[in-house]
Structure 1
């Protein structure tokens, strides 16, 4: 998905609201999430201006999650030159259910998921307050 702000936009903090339904008990429940996103502006050539350290860091990372869907375990393979990053697993209500420190020397982490109920989860890798990567995980 590509989001394009309306002109004239010169960067800044945008508030985004995601709305949808999630399975809950015998039916579905409305879920609304509101979050702020700091979006850099562009110069006259269409390139981002004021690219800082966080943007440069994200160019040096890659993540791969397999198998997905998973039944008993899932592997997160990554390339990352950062120390202090964490992997967090969230259920669909947004509740953090697991957290694991990631090391730049390990290059992969294997998660045992057979004790989680079947369903969809979000995996998020953060460094300080910056989200480096996120992906959905489906557990059979």
Structure 2
């Protein structure tokens, strides 16, 4: 009886660990929109204590060339600065796409929303990104 209990406990423990690992491998997707911008960020699993974030930002205005250089900051709800990109430009279609590495933090992976701040031409907008 003791061997059966140990075997069942071991099996349960193994299945629990396997279940937790499979959830950690899935990317976490956030998206949101304001009057001038739409954004989507995908956070990929942690590798070497760094996360990879795919940032997709689209300008929704008519005059793409009027944006010029812009910068973005990504903040988590616990006020950790996750990403900062400065002096970058949109492509011809008004889009910005980039993969960046950031320090892994529980705050980002457990967040229900993130705040992406876009600054351009003395303007600023905060985009609330919610989990898809």
Please give the TM-score of this superposition, normalised by the length of structure 1.
Answer: 0.41
Which structure dedicates a bigger proportion of its chain to helix? Answer: 2
Please give the TM-score of this superposition, normalised by the length of structure 2.
Answer: 0.42
